[in-house]
Structure 1
């Protein structure tokens, strides 16, 4: 495994799995090729048009794209929300060699922006817009929020260690050579040597953005999934 820029793996894994889930649920069918036909559009326009118009202003998706996403979301989540167990179930499908439950927990908290214990369609599509079509700075802000587990505006070594352990646990036996038990802690030390400019033991959003934006490998990694849909 290449450890350079590993702090971005968390975000890339999010995007990869989200795209796979969209494919699995058939969400992407309407994004490929020509526009959807009139009958489909008339059917989908019945789905809460006021809310979709608001989301169109808040995201980088068109109204028609939002209608397609909403139709798929409601088909798979009739209750209109996704709970944490569903997140864990989805991620376990894509990482059968490891344990994705801990990482799914952190990811769920990142999508659950109002911290009410569920991810609504609005939560889902706002996060998806940032991950797939946001600017580099928006994606980095999203990544910082993922790492800042207690949402106090700082990334601590303990928080980063929790994230790294979750990533390594999720990858399981897929890594070669097999990682040593202290690999997550070693990576956290590397992360802080690079990011913690004033050596105060925490990484601020300013330090995080400045360091990431100067790193060519991280910048390339943040562009990998642009224009997926």
Structure 2
């Protein structure tokens, strides 16, 4: 994505404002952040968007996410056109759900993060691998995998409403609506609300950009000031 295209989009913000971002100022802030994070294009090198490494670094440093499997899932969910880059439009649309999405939007988002192979189901194997990564093992456990397998079966009994041995979006949605805590049943893939409420997101974003790009950024983004 060239800076010429980015600037054209920036001057036509109204066409890309997601419903969750209530004003133009917020989108402008996200565009400025995106441009700084993206960096200047090198000689003869087009800038397509945030690549996997840079995007994972943002998730880790700003939102405290550390699970490699979940980080890849979040990147895949943001990267809707599967071109291995998060474009500016994908960045804005993704963050609008990530930070201010409705329950419906977050259910779909979390489901797609957990659907590791993009087959529209969360399988037993996918549940096992995600739970294995997210649970703390006890040193006294002889076979910790057996405990995880038992947990997968308990989870299926709770969430698999059509009893086909896997979770569809309909299964996942029904379970989450009955018990909201199941939204992140297989690993943290949404920011802690305290990050938003305390405005740490924007402060951490400025700090991260400053350090990673060697910039002295003294401006302040009023992105979540009303919260």
Q: TM-score range by the shorter chain?
A: 0.5 to 0.7
**2:37 is the alignment partner of 1:60:** no
Which stretches of structure 1, 4 residues or more, deviate above 4 A after TM superposition?
91-96, 175-180, 218-224
Which of 36, 40, 48 is the equivalent residue of 2:9?
48
What TM-score, normalized by structure 1, do the two folds share? Answer: 0.63
Contact 1:155 1:203 in 2 (8 A): yes
TM-score in terms of structure 2 length: 0.64
Aligned partner of 2:49 among 53, 72, 81: 81
Deviation at 1:202, TM superposition (A): 1.2
Match of 1:190 among 154, 162, 167: 154
Contact map agreement 2:98 2:191 (CA 8 A) in 1: no
Equivalence for 1:39: none
1:100-111 correspondence to structure 2 within 5 Å: 100-111=67-78
Q: Which has the higher helix share?
A: 1
Tell me the matched-pair count: 177
SS of residue paired to 1:155: coil
Q: 1:115 to 1:202 in 2, by over 3 A?
A: same
Alignment of 1:84-163 (within 5 A): 84-93=52-61, 100-163=67-130
Higher relative contact order (CA 8 A, sep 6+): 1
Q: Matches of 1:143 and 1:67 in 2, distance apart? A: 26
Structure 1: gaps of 5 or more residues: 1-45, 169-174
Q: What is the Cα-based RMSD across aligned positions, in Å?
A: 3.5
Instruction: State the SS of the aligned residue for 1:199.
Output: coil
> Structure 1 CA distance, aligned partners of 2:168 and 2:140?
29
In 2, Cα distance between the equivalents of 1:156 and 1:220? 16
How many angstroms does 1:192 deviate by? 1.1
Structure-2 change in CA distance of 1:125 and 1:102 (3 Å): same
CA distance in 1 between partners of 2:74 and 2:192 (Å): 19
Relative distance call for 1:224 and 1:90 in structure 2 (3 A) is closer
SS in 2 for 1:154: coil
Q: In the TM superposition, what is the alpha-carbon distance from 1:129 to its structure 2 partner?
A: 0.9
Between the aligned partners of 1:81 and 1:223, the Cα distance in structure 2 is 22
Q: CA deviation at 1:105?
A: 1.6
The structural deviation recorded for 1:147 is: 1.1
Query: 5+ residue gaps in structure 2?
Result: 1-6, 40-46, 198-223
Deviations 1:200-220 (A, max 9, x none): 111111111111101154479
Distance 2:101 2:69 in 1: 26
